[in-house]
Amino acid sequence: MTTDAPNNLPAELTSFIGRQSELAAVRASLDGERLVTLTGPGGVGKTRLAAQVAAAEVAHRPGGVWWVELAAVNDHTQVAELVAATLGVLVEPVQGPVRSLVAQLRDRKTLICLDNCEQVLDGAAELVAALLRSCPQVSVLTTSREPLAVPGEVVWRVPPLAAEEALRLFVERGRQVRQLFDLDQAGESAARVMCSRLDGIPLAIELAAAWLRTLTPQQIEHGLDDRFGLLVRSPRGVAARQQTLVASIAWSHDLLDEPDRAVFRRLAVFPAGFSLDAAQAVCADGVIDVLGALGRLVDKSLVVAETRGGASRYQLLETIREYAAGRLRESGEGDATRDRHLDHFLAVAAGEPRPAEDLDAWRTRVEGEYENLRAALEWGLAADDPGPGRRLAAELAWLWHLHRHGYEGISFLRRAIDLAPDDRSLLQARLLAGLALVADTTSPLDLEYDVAQQALELAAEHGEESLRAVCLSLSAVGRFYTSFEEAWELTELAISSAEAAGDKLFPHSMRALQGMIRQLQDRHEEARELLEAAAEGLRHRHRGIASTTLASLASSALACGRLSESRRFASAAIDLAEPLSDYLRVGIARSALSAVCALSGDLDAALDVLRPLLVLTENADRAVFVPGMAAALGQIHLAQGDLDSALRWFERDKPGTATYLAAQIQAGYGEALRRAGRSEDARRELDQAAATARTLGMPRALADALAQQAFLADDLNLHHEALTIRAAHGLRAFLPDSLDALAAFLPPPNAARVLAASAAARTSLGCPRRAIDQPAYDHLRDDLEHTLGQAFAAEWAAGSDLSLDDAVAYVRRSRGARNRPTAGWDSLTPTELKVAQLAAAGLNNPEIGARLFMSRSTVKTHLSQIYAKLGVANRTELAALTVQTG
């Protein structure tokens, strides 16, 4: 089937027999309803019919048709997580996978197929109900031995095969094991009886047909006699068809030689698929030929084989696995088999190459075995000797660091640590370091530094230089949020330790962190050299950190006014992060690109870039840890003049502690508060912003805070201080903001020149004035044009010819002391003078605020100061004084 619609439908290795009327009926149900559940006993053909329906729907579902196998899932909370992973949907860790899926599927015309829901009904029902409620174009097709009991569910019971279809299935499957197989009259008669006795259940018929290589149809039919004799002793309440299926599996099982039976029952410990190597490691006991047994089990349809990436992969269908698990319990081999399963997957996780040598190759090797690793870990941590389980937890820390299961990893690692809380072994050090590593991408402000320091102490006790380098690196990242100096010292120690240990990853990651520190300190030439070298070294060792490194390069280029370069770095960061499905890395990269779009004046594009993240966070219960995202969204809404939305985003992500993240967001938050008329709140926020920026040594953040304090206090000196900082650190993208602000304080000819130079610089840099700033600029330009008359054009032209550097120098030369008196008209600031003129002209506070783009309370504050300086009590006296003075 050729279609442009995305899908991941399983490849059909055998022909689909009959069921044409059922196929049409189920498709008709899906056309009219959005949830159809195929029910029936195991083996009746629910999965195969669903797959055929799904294949027929692909052409009609532009949002894709997605197949999600739930047989290996035993925890209902993991259903939505697996669906999100299958669809490639980002999962926002705070609101979780259900709300994340709903947010991103709301506008997609999509069919989701959930296979084998019976053991996780609650999880499947919760997800499906949410999708039906909030995603009007999403339809769901499920298979389950019992309905989901969700409102709107259409329950469609899959019947057994009709007699002719059952016979045809037996013949078709028989020809797979005997190419020239056909039925003579006696064989057909026996086959019809057999199919009838098997109630037309496809799986039972296929199991019977698998024996045609060695038995005749008559022998197969006769072989059922003894087995069916046992049905009278089956448990009460078990459906007849289920009894029939179990009986047919049991009959096939009893015909196996004992070595094949042993392999069959031991395979039950694999919760999902498994490789030949895994089967040999788990099922062998020194005598059994596992490869031969596996081949015979495949031939007899007790094991399903498929090829992935050129390698064979095997699995037991869930019904068969349940039967095998029962036989394993009866054999008394369960514990020993699970121990071998744990040992094998511990070896897989600890194998070569190691994460520090080739992280991508290591991840590729272990990620596809996550269900087996989880099962092995659960068994190991619950054992009387939890040592192997604890070692496996330590080995998996890198996977949780990279993977969507970060919170699960933290839980497993805490369990492993708490099993021996007083242990001071090297293993305990590795577990603590692993916990810090997972926290790095999941919850860094809560855990990372303190846990890394505990691990560092133990690593030093054991003289383990490689682990010490890891702990120092994680400590550096933890300190990065609150102290650049301490973080830098730790990076130097980490680099030295890592190089001494021959580590190939952490020297690059630490140089990346050093580059990020220099970028935040606005030492951009140093930052660029460090970041570019680190990005190259990390690209094939840790794509996540490489992506964040590129995002930091984008931020550096943006501040320096190199917007096209910034866009290129940010786009490259996204290209590296997207395939990882890592919410943190994708969020950082997209926030960097959004900032470029916003500064370029394309606010719609800036929002579109963040939309995949925005739909996940809009209903979150608390702030999501994605550095830069809320700041970017706050700035976008602020630039548009949407103060309510800006305040909501700034408040949502404003850290409670003095971190570099707080310094980055507080100036914008203070500006939004100022423009909303909340002067005292703005003053308090901006004071904190300036203090944090000074403590950490962040010039750009300090300049932003000073500029807003200057607007709040109408303070010329603060504006000059902001300009000086921006000029000294090459923050060219923000110099036009300072020029615009200072123009309002200059005599008209000078002001016209500076305003013109600012406009020219914005055009050259490609960063137009924000919509929220445009009215004030327009008013000032109009006033200057009116005041200067014919001289305006010449002054404007002269200013337009100034370079940005020349304009900055021009403003700084013209600074001088204002020597403004404390009373009278000359004591009024430029803003106060405009407010006084408009009030004297009869405009009320809202009208003045609209004209000067300030809040009513700000107008009221200015009027109080004007009255005090002019010695008047109200608007009437102000108007009279205005007339008297001309």
Element (H, E) at 206: helix 202-209
Please say whether the beta carbons of 516 and 479 come within 8 A. Answer: no
Q: Which of 279, 381, 268, 280 is nearest to 316 (CA)?
A: 268
Mean pLDDT across the stretch 101-106?
88
The mean per-residue pLDDT over the stretch 27-54 comes to 89
Residue 379 has pLDDT above 60, yes or no: yes
Q: Which residue has the higher pLDDT, 7 or 617?
A: 7
In tens, the pLDDT along 388-440 reads 999 999 999 989 888 767 788 899 999 999 999 999 999 999 999 999 988 88
Angle at the Cα of 516 (from 512 to 518), degrees rounded to 5?
Answer: 115
Give the tens place of pLDDT for each residue, 113-141.
999 898 889 999 999 999 999 999 999 99
pLDDT of residue 735 exceeding 80: yes
Instruction: Give the range among 439-453, 465-479, 710-724 with minimum mean pLDDT.
Output: 439-453
User: Which residues, at least 6 apart from 387, have a Cβ–Cβ distance to it below 8 Å?
Assistant: 427
On average, the pLDDT of the chain sits at 87
- When computed from its CA atoms, the radius of gyration of the chain, rounded to whole angstroms, is 35
Laid out side by side, the sheet with 65-69 consists of 65-69, 110-115, 138-144, 35-39, 153-157
Q: SS3 sequence, 854-877? A: CCHHHHHHHHHHHHHHHCCCCHHH
Res. 145 pLDDT band, cuts 50 70 90:
confident
Judged against a pLDDT cut of 70, whether residue 172 lies above it is answered with yes
Nearest-angstrom CA–CA distance, 290 and 129: 44
- Between strands 304-308 and 311-315, the pairing is antiparallel
Q: What is the 3-state secondary structure (H, E, C) of 475-539?
A: HHHHHHCCCHHHHHHHHHHHHHHHHHHCCCCHHHHHHHHHHHHHHHCCCHHHHHHHHHHHHHHHC
**DSSP 8-state code for residue 368:** T
Helix (H), strand (E) counts: the chain = 45, 7
- Phi first, then psi: what are they for 761, rounded to 5°? -65, -40
Integer Cα distance of 303 and 191 in angstroms: 23
Which band of pLDDT confidence, cut at 50, 70 and 90, is reported for residue 237? very low
In this prediction, residue 817 carries a pLDDT of 41
Query: For the residues 543-547, what does the mean pLDDT come to?
Result: 91
- Please check whether residue 318 is in contact with residue 71, taking contact to mean a CB–CB distance below 8 angstroms: yes
Span 775-791, pLDDT tens digits: 999 999 999 999 899 99
Q: pLDDT at position 756, please?
A: 96
Among the residue ranges 89-93, 179-183, 638-642, 716-720, the one predicted with the least confidence is 89-93
- Residue 112, φ and ψ in degrees, nearest 5: -110, 125
**Which pLDDT does position 4 carry in this prediction?**
60
Average pLDDT over residues 359-365: 81
* 93 three-state secondary structure: coil
**Distance (Å, whole) CA 262 – CA 256:** 10
Question: What are 329's two structure tokens?
Answer: 């319990």
Could you give the CA distance from residue 828 to residue 824 in angstroms, rounded to a whole number? 7
Q: What DSSP character marks residue 161?
A: P
- pLDDT: which is higher, 433 or 444: 433
Residues 6+ apart with CB under 8 A from 520: 484, 660, 696, 698
What are the φ and ψ backbone dihedral angles of 646, each rounded to 5 degrees? -60, -45
Copy the structure tokens of residue 116: 């084998």
- Please choose, from the candidates 580, 639, 572, 582, the residue with its C-alpha nearest in 3D space to the C-alpha of residue 605: 639
Burial of 472 (0-12, 13-18, 19+ CB in 10 A): buried
Q: Residue with structure tokens 């997209």?
A: 590
| CB 241, CB 161: distance < 8 Å | no
| pLDDT 10s digits, 547-599 | 999 999 999 999 999 999 999 999 999 999 888 777 788 889 999 999 999 99
Give the span between the Cα atoms of 613 and 83, in whole angstroms: 18
Phi and psi for 142 in degrees, rounded to 5?
-120, 155
User: Cβ(708)–Cβ(686) under 8 Å?
Assistant: yes
Between 288 and 672, residue with greater pLDDT = 672
How long, in residues, is the chain?
A: 886
**Using an 8 Å Cβ cutoff, are 325 and 253 in contact?**
no
Residue 697 and residue 480 in contact, taking contact as beta carbons nearer than 8 Å: no
Q: How confident is the model at residue 804 (pLDDT cuts 50, 70, 90)?
A: very high
Q: Summarize the confidence of residues 639-654 as an average pLDDT.
A: 88
Q: Are 432 and 406 in contact (CB under 8 A)?
A: no
- Alpha-helical regions (H) of 654-713: 660-675, 679-696, 699-713
**Residues facing 214 on adjacent strands:** none
> Among candidates 57, 52, 53, which has minimal Cα distance to 5?
57
- With bands split at pLDDT 50, 70 and 90, how would you rate the model's confidence at 816? low
What does the alpha-carbon distance between residue 689 and residue 678 come to, in Å, rounded to a whole number? 16
Sign of CA dihedral 260, 264, 269, 275: positive
pLDDT at 652: 77
Give the span between the Cα atoms of 260 and 289, in whole angstroms.
9
- Tell me what the mean pLDDT of segment 348-375 comes to: 85
Question: Which residue has 């009894």 as its token pair?
Answer: 243
238 — pLDDT class (breaks 50, 70, 90): very low
In 3D, which of 316, 402, 293 has the Cα closest to residue 42?
316
What are the tens digits of pLDDT across the range 829-870? 777 788 888 888 888 888 887 776 566 777 887 888 888 888
Residues 648-660 pLDDT 10s: 888 876 666 778 8
What tens digit of pLDDT does each residue of 47-89 get? 899 999 999 999 889 999 999 998 878 888 889 989 988 888 8
Enumerate the H helices of 714-789 as residue ranges: 716-728, 735-743, 748-765, 774-788
Residues 6+ apart with CB under 8 A from 656: none
Contact, 45 vs 161, CB < 8 A? Answer: yes
Q: How far apart are CA 570 and CA 548, in angstroms?
A: 9
Contact residues for 507 (Cβ-Cβ < 8 A; gap 6+): 495, 498, 499, 537
Lowest mean pLDDT among 348-352, 364-368, 402-406, 733-737: 402-406
Q: Cα–Cα distance between 521 and 38 in angstroms, integer?
A: 61
Closest CA to 706 of 734, 732, 730: 734
CB 353 within 8 A of CB 361: yes
Euclidean distance between CA atoms 262 and 100, whole angstroms: 44
Q: CA angle, corner 865, sides to 863 and 866, nearest 5?
A: 60
Per-residue pLDDT tens over the stretch 185-223:
999 999 998 888 777 888 888 888 888 888 889 888 887
Calculate ∠ Cα 35-36-37, nearest 5°: 120
Segment 486-492 shows an average pLDDT of: 94
